Amino acid sequence: MSEQADVLIIGAGPAGLSAALAAAGDGMRVVLLDDNPLPGGQIWRDGAGAKVPDQARRLRDAVDNHAGIQRHAATRVVARAGSHALLVEDPEHGWVISYRKLILCTGARELLLPFPGWTLPGVTGAGGLQALIKGGLPVAGERIVIAGSGPLLLASASTAKHNGARVLRIAEQASLRAVAGFAAQLPRWPHKLLQSFGLFDGGYRPATRIVAALGQDRLEGVRLQRDGKLEELACERLACGFGLIPNVQLGQALGCALGNSAIKVDAWQATDVAGIYAAGECTGFGGSELALVEGRIAGHAAAGNREAARRMWATRARWQRFADALHKYFALDPALKRLAQSDTLLCRCEDVPYAAVAAHSNWREAKLATRCGMGACQGKICGGAAQYLFDWQPTAPRPPFTPTRVDTLMQLEEAAQSCSPRTCS
């Protein structure tokens, strides 16, 4: 089985949805796929406990009602199937999609750093808690502490409170001066300023960081540090996230160059690989507004409509300044690299402690010697942590990129036998 597209888009978050509408509006035949069952990405995640913004619903409906867009849900990229084709798989079967242009909108994931007790049941990422609640996790009456860095902490706290939880503390590692500096910039983006009023929480504490999660069989409390003083709070849940990491693995596998640990793009959102574009948080974290405009630029550029893409440059520059402010004022304190103790697990899948990984000089060597990053998550958690802690750059993944069925892999042989010179390397 095979499918053809003028423009293939990987990821149905804000960037992917807007890219699809832009390219389809320019007359392209678009295929949009995402590994989640519903579109919207992490920021607009749908579910039993979710309240999806009107903008997200309008975009999703526009995509689903557009005759020029074919959307595949719960679909993952397995491998390359030629220079202009990918092998993909959904819960039922695998097939090859050939394309003229490819747009990567693979988003980002949370940076989770190891600290004593972080593997206890009841400890999640800040965004992870949001996703669980949107998916229907009951938190009514639970005491929750949220720690780490960035505006996501406030958004996670808001979601928890709206679902009946008691948020005891929001521990932001950035200093009071940094947080005040960021707040002073918000009038430049009135929508963000208005949004911040709704997210304000009396339990917010800057210059505060997690020290340890406390408990035996599950989380019972947390230990925080502020101004050299320790504070312990009893709670049922701890949500801890230290910002976002661009999902660059597919881009790496396709040969795209990286810059600042994100996929490197030019003014047209084009990568250094001919025919491949990237947009949204895989090119650097900046919020949904930046992702939307980057997606539109990439969609128009991939369709050859450079004039429409160029008209979006000023809007992109405006939201890029917001992204720059986020990176500047919420930069991580190097002290966070010392949260883990020697026996703190760094790789939870393979039970590898921090000291065992720190004894090596690069990610590949650590994997070979300790199996760090070779478990169920395939380094998505410990790889990001090691990248921050040791300044290691994970290598490009080898196919298959995800666990897959044998009959799906057999499609590669069929594709090799039947592909045309345009779609084969």
Residue 413 has a pLDDT of: 78
Q: Are residues 275 and 211 in the same domain?
A: no
The residue among 48, 33, 89, 103 whose CA lies nearest residue 273 is 103
| For range 25-53, the mean pLDDT | 87
Q: Are residues 142 and 231 in the same domain?
A: yes
Q: Are residues 119 and 237 in the same domain?
A: yes
Long-range CB pairs of 258-261, under 8 A, 24+ apart, other chains included: 258/393, 260/284, 261/387, 261/393
Q: Is 395 exposed, middle or buried (0-12, 13-18, 19+ CB in 10 A)?
A: middle
Residue 44 has a pLDDT of: 82
* 368 assigned to some structural domain: no
Residue 398 has a pLDDT of: 87
pLDDT tens by residue, 283-338 = 999 999 999 999 999 999 999 999 999 999 999 999 999 999 999 999 999 999 99
Q: Are residues 98 and 186 in the same domain?
A: no
How far apart CA 405 and CA 116 sit, in angstroms, is 37
Residue 412 has a pLDDT of: 84
Assess contact for 281 and 142: CB atoms under 8 A: no
Q: Are residues 205 and 60 in the same domain?
A: no
* 85 assigned to some structural domain: yes
Residue 423 has a pLDDT of: 45
pLDDT tens by residue, 57-106 = 999 999 999 999 999 999 999 999 988 999 999 999 999 999 999 999 99
Q: Are residues 120 and 225 in the same domain?
A: yes
How far apart CA 402 and CA 253 sit, in angstroms, is 13
Q: Are residues 198 and 315 in the same domain?
A: no
* 137 assigned to some structural domain: yes
Which of 225, 241, 257 is the endpoint of a domain? 241
Assess contact for 206 and 174: CB atoms under 8 A: yes
pLDDT tens by residue, 42-60 = 888 877 677 788 888 999 9
Long-range CB pairs of 184-187, under 8 A, 24+ apart, other chains included: 185/325, 185/329
Q: Are residues 118 and 194 in the same domain?
A: yes
Q: Are residues 295 and 199 in the same domain?
A: no
**Is residue 421 pLDDT above 50, yes or no?**
no
The residue among 218, 194, 249, 240 whose CA lies nearest residue 11 is 249
Q: Count of domains in the chain?
A: 2
pLDDT tens by residue, 239-286 = 999 999 999 999 999 999 999 899 999 999 999 999 999 999 999 999
* 351 assigned to some structural domain: no
pLDDT tens by residue, 362-409 = 999 999 999 999 988 888 899 999 999 999 987 888 899 888 999 999
How far apart CA 34 and CA 395 sit, in angstroms, is 23
Hey, what are 168's tokens?
Answer: 């005891």
Hey, what are 139's tokens?
Answer: 């938190």
Q: Are residues 152 and 39 in the same domain?
A: no
Q: Are residues 227 and 276 in the same domain?
A: no
pLDDT tens by residue, 254-263 = 999 999 899 9
Which of 241, 259, 290 is the endpoint of a domain? 241
Task: Name the residue range of residue 185's domain.
Answer: 114-241
Q: Average pLDDT over the chain, rounded to whole?
A: 93
* 399 assigned to some structural domain: no
pLDDT tens by residue, 152-184 = 999 999 999 999 999 999 999 999 999 999 999
Assess contact for 62 and 21: CB atoms under 8 A: yes
Q: Is 303 exposed, middle or buried (0-12, 13-18, 19+ CB in 10 A)?
A: buried
Domain holding 26: CATH number?
3.50.50.60
Which of 325, 357, 392 is the endpoint of a domain? 325
Q: How many CB atoms lie within 10 A of CB 236?
A: 18
* 279 assigned to some structural domain: yes
Cα torsion angle, 117, 118, 122, 123, sign: positive
- Phi, psi (degrees; rounded to nearest 5) at 124: -135, 180
* 288 assigned to some structural domain: yes
Alpha-carbon 334 to chain mean position? 22
Q: Are residues 7 and 78 in the same domain?
A: yes
Which pLDDT band holds residue 201 (cuts at 50, 70, 90)? confident
